[in-house]
Structure 1
Amino acid sequence: MRFITIIILFLSCYFTLSLNASEVRLKDLVEFDGVRGNDLVGYGLVVGLNGTGDGLRNAPFTEEMMSNILERLGVNVTGEQFRPKNVAAVLVTATLPPFSRAGSKIDITVSAIGDAKSLLGGTLIMTPLNAADGDIYAVAQGSVIAGGISAEGDAARVVHGVPTSGIVPSGGRIEREVDFSFQDLTSIRLALRSPDFSTASKIEAVINQLVGGRVALMLDAGTVEIDLEAGDFKSPAHLLSRIENLTVEPEQKAQVVVDQRSGTIVMGRDVRISRVAVAQGNLTLTIEEAPLVVQPSPFSEGTTVVVPRTRATVAEDQGRGLAELPDSTSLSDVIAGLNALGISPIDMIDILKSIKAAGALHAEFIVQ
């Protein structure tokens, strides 16, 4: 009896996991209003390169910026001409995370904008980072980790990866916070990453069920609004901590996505095909050049002539004739029907296009 009880519990857990396998957490489906990052950008210099920096004749802005930095450090270079090869001008980019505070560190990305060959081994000099409003929110500095290598000789050059771009881990320090008070919000909007009316309705229902009242309202296919004044919440942060791990099963449009370059085909689970018959065959065209050399008779005054000869043949692969694809009620039926043709993924893309043109493929067809 105890053994039977263990089996029943095991089967219950199995079916529970199977039913919840397609459910997704709310935090993975939506973006919370106000919880967002901000892009930062700056212009700086990378020094300490091993002769792989900008050619200052082709990048005069590098020399000008180097002169300005030296002037601020008390070095007078007015009227002097210097041609260092270990300096490169770069654009510095970063993202200011939401709720970041002054003193926190962020990762930095640097990219050469001149004719530098590599940023490997360089050091980014103190660079202010500005947001879209023009204010400085962070300052970046540190050793650059380049993502590639470059080797050059007298007659050849080998480049692996992208040595003109790199990162500075924790190289940016936040100096200014974004003026945003999350605590003072009276309502929060949840923006669905993939707008869908059915999914938005499920999110509304699961939030209201948790709270025990009607505080969530679906505004459209991509927005669910939560009225913070309608419920007894300590703060917006406490509410989000309760609802962000709620799970719902999102609804998706039936789509077929194909990549012609790699032959990749991705189908959604709701793809359906009406009953249709398909025949597919290949034509192989072979062209062979066999020129004939004609020489004159001995002791004659003629010249040797090359007579062109071309042999062209066309061979048709009869394939498997007509293959019937029945009415499909599931994704496995669609796959089984297409596999019955016994063709490669590249040819299957063309067949799917033809089925869509015939009106038998009931899904959005996306070609990349």
Structure 2
Amino acid sequence: MVLFLILLVPLLAPGAKIKEICNVIGVRDNQLIGYGLVVGLNKTGDGTTSKFTLQTIANMLQSMNIKLDPRDIKSKNVAAVMVTATLPPFARQGDKIDVVVSSMGDAKSIEGGTLLMTPLKGVDGRIYALAQGSVTIGGRNGRGGGTLNHATAGRIPAGALVEQEVAYDLYSRNEATLSLKEASFQNAISIQNILNRYYKERVAVAIDARTIKLRKPKSVSMIEFLARAGELSIDYNIKPRIVIDERTGTIVSGIDIEVEPVMITHGDIVVKIEERKSLPAIRKGSDTVNIGRNTQIQPQNNAVVTRTGATTVANIARSLKKLGATPKDIISILEAMKNAGAIHADLQII
């Protein structure tokens, strides 16, 4: 089923906390990856065509003083997998983190299998964690990830032990740097001003649209300084954006994103938006839809009529859907409007 989402996203969101819109540079997650074997499968593992799996089994057995030619291995109860995890900032030795296990051979399913001890390495090639445990199917793909709803990928909650820490001495530092998640000169200046007013001295300076340099006051530690700073709220200026998922046909837009006068022809669909002398209209064949702002759409003969007002992306999407336009048609029309300069919001296609 196609989903159209028109969300109320105001251009100004007062009260956004600094910690919600900024990151502290250097305090971040690190990605880990490893290669291992899942065993204990009920004939749903890799077949003999996955030669790397057979070689891996032979190498593992050889480390246990069992020499075996890979060509002699016929087991279908083993699958070669890639193991991924996210090492959070300030993770310490002995902490447990979730891992995601994904088949890389021709296994039909890894459900119910057990991952053998697998070293997880960072981009620098060093081992930061060891993963092992029973694989579950249908969980969440890491923190905030999507659902793993197929049998060739699963997860192990708390399945890896941290063996090595990423050193970052924040306590003894006198300076830190904030990075806005979305660049904005106005937001950078707002953060600078509120921090300087709160501490009654120059502790922050915005150096560009994304970066704010901080110098802690002498009366507090860096940890306390960042904790207090993160709780301060600013009037957060949000740049309007339209997000389109081409695969599912989902459109997410602020409800007040206006469309300038324009005429677009797409197949048998004509979108004509004029100055406020008359209602803007969308026509498909003999059917017409008039569009306005913040109104209830009411069928009237073969037309859909609304009261006059500004034309928004929300109105256009609803009206096109009522005329039976496909998600591909709606996406193409919005892209054409953006390219013609009729939509000033960012258009993000995922």
For the criterion TM > 0.5, the same-fold answer is yes
Is the contact made by 2:54 and 2:70 (CA closer than 8 Å) also made in structure 1? no
Shift of 1:72: 2.1
Q: What is the deviation of 1:339?
A: 6.9
Is 1:251 the counterpart of 2:243? The answer is no
User: Does residue 136 of structure 1 match 2:124?
Assistant: no
What's the counterpart of residue 115 of structure 2? Answer: 124
Aligned twin of 1:101: 92
Q: How many residues align?
A: 296
TM-score, with normalisation over the residues of structure 2? 0.74
Q: Quote the residue 2:8 is aligned against.
A: none
Instruction: Tell me which amino acid in the other structure corresponds to 2:113.
Output: G
2:288 to 300, 319, 323: 319
Letter of the structure 2 residue corresponding to residue 107 of structure 1: D
Please state whether the residue corresponding to 1:40 is helix, strand or coil.
Answer: strand
Q: 1:62 to 1:344 in 2, by over 3 A?
A: closer
What amino acid is aligned across from residue 134 of structure 1 in structure 2? G
CA shift, 1:364, in A, is 3.8
Q: Deviations over 1:295-347 (max 9, x none)?
A: xxxxxxxxxxxxxxxxxxxxx31526xx5869xxxxx8445994799542647
1:267 aligned onto 2:258: no
* Residue number in structure 1 paired with 2:192: 204
**Structure of greater relative contact order (alpha carbons < 8 Å, 6+ residues apart):** 2
Verify: 1:217 aligned to 2:194, yes or no. no
Question: What is the match of residue 26 of structure 2?
Answer: 34
TM-score by length of 1: 0.70
Greater Cα offset, 78-87 or 352-361: 352-361
1:254/1:269 contact within 8 Å kept: no
Secondary structure at the aligned position of 2:125 is classed as coil
1:237: how far off?
Answer: 1.2
Distance in 2 (alpha carbons) for counterparts of 1:133 and 1:339: 50
Partner of 2:62: 71
Structure 1, unmatched stretches of 5+, are 1-19, 149-159, 283-315, 327-331
DSSP-derived class of the 2:106 partner:
coil
Report deviation, 1:140. 0.6
Let me know the Cα RMSD of the aligned residues. 3.2
Secondary structure of 2:237's counterpart equals coil
> One-letter code of the match for 1:32?
V
Task: Report what 1:226 is aligned to.
Answer: 214
With 203-212 and 113-122 compared, the bigger mean Cα shift is at 203-212
Cα distance change, pair 162–352 in 1 and its aligned pair in 2 (3 A): closer
Q: Share of identical aligned residues, percent? A: 39
Matching residue's letter, 2:234? V
Structure 2, unaligned stretches of length 5 or more? 1-11, 140-147, 262-272, 275-279, 294-308
CA shift digits 1:112-155 (9 cap, x unpaired): 1111110011000011111111111111100001239xxxxxxx
